[in-house]
């Protein structure tokens, strides 16, 4: 159940847990399609479930995206604690790895903050700062996600702005400034024919990238439709 992910360069997913109930429209042709398995009804339905055989099969890559085929906030807390323990144990042999834990309900991470080893980066998705969001997802609206993530007392954070939706530049920039992420991962909708979203212009995105870099924020990403010259690839 370890798979190369198109989302983060050089990363593979580690999927002892899979599935999500946020029902994001842009997820259907991407993560949900990638998660399908002929012999697993729950994978095909994309409902939260476990693959215990994957527990001890860590990806060989230096970047490991935990539960990359789901949202970890639907994972039972006891199981997440077990995964953190497994990472700490694996760190004895492979201390050079970095683990991404990502959720659109970042308050889920709060009970685990003192348990995470130093090589875990917490990530949330903020496609926009605007809350007119019901047609996109059942996840907490961006302003709620932002407040939850900002208030986590944890030193290593990152933000995914993918697929990017139209935004208010100064407000969005102030959010990122307040969160102080190690990097921002940014990209357009990779399936525009299948999913229609209200997007900013390429010029607006390029200027936003320049503003982030002026703030000292590392910008990474993909599917930027030709404006990749200012990106740093990991």
What is the residue-averaged pLDDT of the chain?
A: 89
Each domain of the chain, given as residue ranges in start order, spans 3-221
Question: 13 — phi, psi (to 5°)?
Answer: -80, 150
* Side-chain half-sphere exposure of 56, counting CA atoms within 13 A: 1
Asked whether the predicted pLDDT for residue 73 surpasses 60, the reply is yes
Question: 131 — phi, psi (to 5°)?
Answer: -95, 5
For 171-216, the pLDDT digits (tens) are: 999 999 999 999 999 999 888 888 889 999 999 999 999 999 999 9
Tokens describing residue 152: 């986590």
Q: What is the CATH number of domain 3-221?
A: 3.20.20.70
The pTM for the full model equals 0.91
For 98-115, the pLDDT digits (tens) are: 999 999 999 999 999 999
Q: Are 72 and 84 in contact (CB under 8 A)?
A: no
């Amino acid at each position: 159940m370890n798979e190369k992910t198109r989302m983060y360069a050089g990363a593979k997913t580690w999927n002892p847990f899979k599935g999500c109930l946020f029902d994001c429209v842009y997820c259907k042709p991407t993560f949900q399609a990638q998660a399908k398995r002929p012999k697993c009804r729950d994978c095909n339905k994309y409902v939260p479930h476990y693959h215990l055989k994957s527990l001890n099969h860590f990806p060989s890559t230096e970047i490991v995206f935990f539960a990359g085929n789901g949202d970890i906030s639907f994972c039972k807390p006891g199981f997440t604690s077990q995964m953190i323990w497994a990472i700490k144990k694996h760190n004895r042999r492979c201390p050079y790895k970095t683990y991404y834990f990502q959720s659109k309900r970042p308050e889920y991470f709060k009970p685990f903050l003192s348990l995470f080893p130093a090589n875990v980066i917490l990530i949330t998705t903020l496609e926009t700062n605007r809350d007119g969001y019901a047609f996109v997802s059942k996840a907490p609206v961006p302003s709620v996600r932002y407040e939850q993530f900002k208030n986590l007392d944890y030193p290593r954070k990152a933000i995914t702005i993918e697929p990017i939706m139209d935004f208010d530049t100064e407000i969005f920039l102030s959010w990122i400034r307040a969160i102080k992420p190690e990097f921002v991962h940014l990209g357009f909708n990779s399936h525009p024919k299948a999913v229609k979203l209200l997007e900013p212009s390429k010029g607006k995105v390029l200027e936003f990238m320049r503003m982030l870099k002026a703030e000292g924020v590392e910008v990474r990403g993909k599917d930027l439709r030709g404006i990749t010259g200012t990106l740093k690839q990991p």
